[in-house]
A and B are shown apart, each in its own frame.
Chain A
Amino acid sequence: LSRRTRRCAASGITPTMNCRAEVLEVSVEGRQVEEAMLAVLHTVLLHRSTGKFHYKKEGTYSIGTVGTQDVDCDFIDFAYVRVSSEELDRALRKAVGEFKDALRNSGSDGMGQISLEFYQKKKSRWPFSDECIPWELWTIKVNVVNLANEQERQICREKVGEKLCEKIINIVEVMNRHEYLPKMPTQSEVDNVFDTSLKDVQPYLYKISYQITDSLGTSVTTTMRRLIKDTLAL
């Protein structure tokens, strides 16, 4: 895991924040891309989702319950736990599906990366748009390999499974550092911290984006589903 600290300078009003960044790398076969990405993203989101908040009069709130379920991979000897939320699963599958298609269609050597970023919204006065301040960024670098025969594929199933086990352990290590997490918001602020659009769980606000790189490492096609609005724009 390499760790870079990115400074996202805010406007003069808000203090500078560090956005911690974690990078994971995996080499997988084409048909394993989706499951591998989902395994990592779901594991991160498991740790970054809470139950739905229900605010009560006195400013206190209660929290709903997060269910979990096991997911078996078809192309990898691996299983992972995800939050029981169909909406969330659909959203992740959509993003990962697009990433996989982009990888396949890019004609590159099959290298790309998908990023999951957690951010907070900072409301600004007009004419300035809201700022999005990232506080945690997970990047998964993917290298797609082509295998010649069934035996190699079988080995790949197992190897990738083992690698993913390592990644899960890495993710959990990071989570356990108990580093910066946004403060629990008041009712008026909750949408600046959490994604309250889902009906059963409440992940922190997040964005998924991806890039396909060519073999030289430069960005050939930059396809961003949602752009990160950098507060440096000011």
Chain B
Amino acid sequence: AMDTDLSSQDRKDLDKFIKFFALKTVQVIVQARLGEKISTRSSSSPTGSDWFNLAIKDIPEVTHEAKKALAGQLPAVGRSMCVEISLKTSEGDSMELEIWCLEMNEKCDKEIKVSYTVYNRLSLLLKSLLAITRVTPAYRLSRKQGHEYVILYRIYFGEVQLSGLGEGFQTVRVGTVGTPVGTITLSCAYRINLAFMSTRQFERTPPIMGIIIDHFVDRPYPSSSPMHPCNYRAGEDNGAIYPSVEDSQEVCTTSFSTSPPSQCVFTVTKAHFQTPPPVVTDTLKVPVMGLAFSHQLSSSRLSYQPAALGVGSADMGYPVLFAGGLNAAHPHQLIGPGKEGGVPQIPSQPAHGTQADQERMCTPLDGVHYSAATPSSSEDTETVSNSSEGKCGSPHDLLETIFIQKVGAFVNKPINQVTMANLDIPFAMFAPKNVELEDNDPMVNPPDSPETESPLQGSLHSEGSSGSSTGNTHDDFVMIDFKPAFSKDDILPMDLGTFYREFQNPPQLSSLSIDIGAQSMAEDLDSLPEKLAVHEKNVKEFDAFVETLQ
């Protein structure tokens, strides 16, 4: 380290410049992916707080994340700051789009003046960054986000990981600035294989499901961010429901929201098939309200096929395992071929975790393991005993079906209207069609990730599958007992549990029924010309109103 040549003041200044340069870099990148046009004002009088003489706003959450990632360090050789931009569809599929890298190499420029030249060149580099962030493919994608997908960012510090970008990714160099301690390099590696993600494709398909913005979209200014309506369309094109909790197999991603970090939602686990991810510094967990029903270890995803395409072959992002050796004759079996159009049946035994499930299945004669079965609280207890008798195949016969049911926040659908019919899973026609949606709602019951212990000791089972003699689909899933974590013990009545039971089967919102939905859409379209005529008539009023706003 030959920085004895650098005065200590210069060194301090340089470190400060680099630190704030890194923070501003992150701001520019993230702001360029918000999907909005950015605009800041020039000010002829220096305000003293505008680093590098550029008006770049500081979104607090972003600064917070960046500082967390840097953890007091500065980019150095082998320690790069990376901002990963990825796209996440409303079905939960995600894809890395870009990695922006701020790196340092050893090439030093001793002669350069820190406080002057370096500073100005860093300013120039930020301007270049502003320009370049608008010309990579992700920019256009980010401008169109909201309906079918959102753009997410993640900051990490350490080794650059480009493997998630797919083959043939391209690199663009934003610029370099030599300093006495090394050369700062800013570049972007971006995926070019966006074939199936072309924006045009998104434009063609109708909006599937609104996205709950709070959890995913960056809302730097709570009052000014764009709000997308959560327009839920009932019926067959409703397979996609946006989970609020990341699939447990995803690499940890941060979502950015205006809510305090504790409410940000995201995964902790790392996908086993991915290359070792970089240091994960943003692991924010959902405060699980304790509704994690263990059968939720369903964690594979059913991918959504747009209604227009009809039921196609399931495109399972993750392995889906079915219980083997079980058939419809055993309604209480774990999973597997049920009847038409549905989801694999919920395991009929309570389970405490993936492991527990399997164990239980393999040792059916161990007796009843239901820790919380209190018959008094359930309306139907027959299945409890039945399941313990359930035949259990050999371990490798026993597979778990994992699935995530994605339900929107405002979904209130009677079970039989739910998308079961259109979920594309193997053997879908055999799966029971009656599934208690809310039980599978990841928002209500986030899937357990292997690392976390399910605090819940509740049990949930299915009364029967399609073979059920009762025509009452709503009763198929009955809670024996419900012990949400973090709630009081079972001596006292549980508010949460009561609430849950009471509101298990709320009536469907009339505005959300498909007929009405489709109808009103058609009506809306028809009435457009009239509406336009009316608006034209009132144009003066509108103009006056606009005037008052200016």
**B39 touching A69, Cβ below 8 Å:** yes
Chain B interface residue count, Cβ-Cβ cutoff 8 angstroms: 35
Q: A69-B37, A70-B134, A84-B55 are in contact. Are A64 and B45 (CB under 8 A)?
A: yes
The DSSP consensus for interface residues of chain B is: mixed
- A window 20-77: CB within 8 A of B: 43, 46-47, 50-52, 54, 62-70, 72, 77
**B128 touching A175, Cβ below 8 Å:** yes
B177 nearest CB neighbor, chain A only? A178
**A43 touching B131, Cβ below 8 Å:** yes
Q: Does B121 contact A (CB under 8 A)?
A: yes
Contacts of A54 in B (CB 8 A): 44-46
**B38 touching A70, Cβ below 8 Å:** yes
A77 nearest CB neighbor, chain B only? B140
Q: Does A193 contact B (CB under 8 A)?
A: no
Binary CB contact string for chain B from 167 to 187 against chain A (1 if under 8 A, 0 otherwise): 000001111100000000000
Q: A66-B55, A67-B39 are in contact. Are A81 and B130 (CB under 8 A)?
A: yes
**A173 touching B37, Cβ below 8 Å:** no
Tell which of A69, A171, A201 touches B40, judged by Cβ atoms closer than 8 Å. Answer: A69
Give CA–CA (A169, B129) in the complex, Å.
Answer: 10
Chain A interface residue count, Cβ-Cβ cutoff 8 angstroms: 38
Taking the closest CB of chain A, its distance from the CB of B40, in whole angstroms, is 4
Contacts of A171 in B (CB 8 A): 131
Binary CB contact string for chain B from 128 to 162 against chain A (1 if under 8 A, 0 otherwise): 10111011100110010000000000000000000
Q: Does B127 contact A (CB under 8 A)?
A: yes
Taking the closest CB of chain A, its distance from the CB of B181, in whole angstroms, is 17
**B42 touching A67, Cβ below 8 Å:** yes
Q: Does B537 contact A (CB under 8 A)?
A: no
Q: Does A95 contact B (CB under 8 A)?
A: no
Contacts of A178 in B (CB 8 A): 121
Q: Does A92 contact B (CB under 8 A)?
A: no
Binary CB contact string for chain B from 37 to 60 against chain A (1 if under 8 A, 0 otherwise): 111111111110010011100000
Contacts of B41 in A (CB 8 A): 67, 84, 200
With a 10 A CB-CB cut-off, give which of B37, B47, B116, B128 has the most chain A CB atoms: B128
Taking the closest CB of chain B, its distance from the CB of A58, in whole angstroms, is 15
Contacts of A164 in B (CB 8 A): 135
| Further 14 A-B residue pairs, CB within 8 A, beyond A67-B55, A77-B140, A176-B175 | A50-B53, A64-B44, A65-B46, A65-B47, A65-B54, A66-B54, A67-B43, A68-B38, A84-B41, A84-B55, A165-B136, A168-B131, A169-B172, A175-B124
Pairs A–B under 8 Å by Cβ, sample size 29: A43-B131, A47-B127, A47-B131, A50-B53, A51-B43, A54-B46, A64-B42, A64-B43, A64-B44, A65-B42, A66-B54, A66-B55, A67-B39, A68-B39, A68-B55, A68-B127, A70-B37, A79-B37, A79-B143, A84-B39, A168-B134, A172-B131, A173-B173, A175-B175, A176-B125, A176-B174, A178-B121, A199-B44, A200-B44
